[in-house]
Amino acid sequence: MGETLTKPEAVIQKENYFSLSFVLSRVLNSGVIMSIEKNDLELKGLEKGIAKLTNKKYVSLFNSYTGAIHGALWGQDLGYHTSARLDHPSEQEKKFIHWLGITLISDQHIKQAYVTVEVNWDNLQQLDQIIFKVSDRAPVLVLDFTGLGFGPVAAIAANDENIWKKAERLKIFGAFDLQTMWTQEESEPDLQPALQFNYRLSPLVAACVKLTLLRRNQS
């Protein structure tokens, strides 16, 4: 695949094999998480963990970093034919944002659209401090967990409920689609879905990230 895609530098470290084997076996045998159900505990659990970690009220999970960027922008009504400011976007971000039809600008009067924290095994112990430092620089915090090696996975965290709602609306089987699936009633008629991607995170991957975050200060 393309060379620009985010790729973890190291595979999972040996000392974590046992924990991961345990969690994956455990999650595999729980059955429930394998399906689209409202009791998707692993995803909810990870969302809660990230809310606590970032001290933000709302968290939305994505199956890739670019998905999370899309959620962060769409959540702020930044779509085709709009512009956004980003400090030091990567080549991949530039390409993706261009593909979305959004123009990058450098007007310092405008707050940057989001700020990213790349989470990997090297900075895991300092995560709280890193997040604290950058948290107020943008309305949305994007956490890229891809560097942990479980596969592409990211999240957005924000205090504005509307950002979260719109980002969820971007996802096929996001929070609102699931609601309609069970009740057959639009719960947010004023906030209607447009283009949707399946950015839904696998609960298995969510379980691994959740475990990693829970154990980060133990070693």
Partner 1 sequence: MMKSDFIRKPLALPSDDWVQAPLAFLGGPSIIPEDVRKTNFPIITKEDVIQMLISIQQDGEQVVDEFKETYRNYVGANYAIATASGTSSLHLALVGAGVQPGDEVIVPAFTFIATAQAVVAAKAIPIFVDIDPITYCLDPLKAEQAITNKTKAIMPVHVHGLPADLPALRHLTDKYSLRLVEDASHAHSASIHQQLAGSIGDSAGQSLMADKNFPVGGEGGIAFFKEKEDYERALAFLDSSGIDYRMSWIAAAFGLSQLSRLPYYDAIRARNAAYLTNALSETKLFSGPFVPDGYKHSYNMYRVKLSPERLGLEDLEDYLIKDAVQQLINSEGVFAREWQNVPIPGHLPFKNRKGFGNGYPFTLSDRQDFGYDLNHFPETLKMLRNSLTICRELRTPIEYERIQAYALAFKKIDANPHIIRELVERGSDLKVLYERDARLG
Out of 117, 208, 211, 213, the residue judged to bind partner 1 by CB under 8 A: 208
Q: How many residues bind partner 1 (CB under 8 A)?
A: 76
Based on the shown chain and the rule CB under 8 A, indicate whether residue 41 belongs to the binding site for partner 1: no
Based on the shown chain and the rule CB under 8 A, indicate whether residue 204 belongs to the binding site for partner 1: yes
Q: Tell me if 165 sits within 8 A of 159, measured CB to CB.
A: no
According to CB under 8 A, which residues from 73 to 102 bind partner 1? 74, 77-82, 91-96, 98-101
According to CB under 8 A, which residues from 182 to 201 bind partner 1? 182, 184-186, 192-201
Please say which residue, 129 or 184, places its beta carbon nearer to partner 1: 184
DSSP state string for 113-158: SEEEEE--TTTGGGHHHHHHHHGGGSSEEEEE-GGGTTSS-EEEEE
Per the listing, tokens 């980060």 go with 216
Binding window for partner 1 (CB under 8 A); candidates: 106-114, 115-123, 124-132, 181-189: 181-189
Strands 58-62 and 114-118: unpaired
Out of 46, 152, 157, 211, the residue judged to bind partner 1 by CB under 8 A: 152
Based on the shown chain and the rule CB under 8 A, indicate whether residue 55 belongs to the binding site for partner 1: no
Instruction: Tell me which DSSP letter residue 31 carries.
Output: -
Please say which residue, 56 or 63, places its beta carbon nearer to partner 1: 63
Based on the shown chain and the rule CB under 8 A, indicate whether residue 142 belongs to the binding site for partner 1: no
Q: Tell me if 68 sits within 8 A of 156, measured CB to CB.
A: yes
Of 87, 190, 201, 85, the residue nearest 146 (C-alpha): 201
Based on the shown chain and the rule CB under 8 A, indicate whether residue 170 belongs to the binding site for partner 1: no
Out of 58, 114, 145, 150, the residue judged to bind partner 1 by CB under 8 A: 150
Please say which residue, 135 or 179, places its beta carbon nearer to partner 1: 179
Least separation in angstroms between CB 136 and partner 1: 27
Out of 103, 162, 180, 217, the residue judged to bind partner 1 by CB under 8 A: 180
Q: In sequence order, what are the residues at sequence separation of 6 or more whose Cβ sits closer than 8 angstroms to the Cβ of residue 142?
A: 65, 68, 69, 72, 114, 115, 116, 117, 154, 155, 156
Based on the shown chain and the rule CB under 8 A, indicate whether residue 105 belongs to the binding site for partner 1: no
Round the CA-based radius of gyration of the chain to a whole number and report it.
17
Q: Is 9 helix (H, G, I), strand (E, B) or coil?
A: coil
Per the listing, tokens 């107020």 go with 136
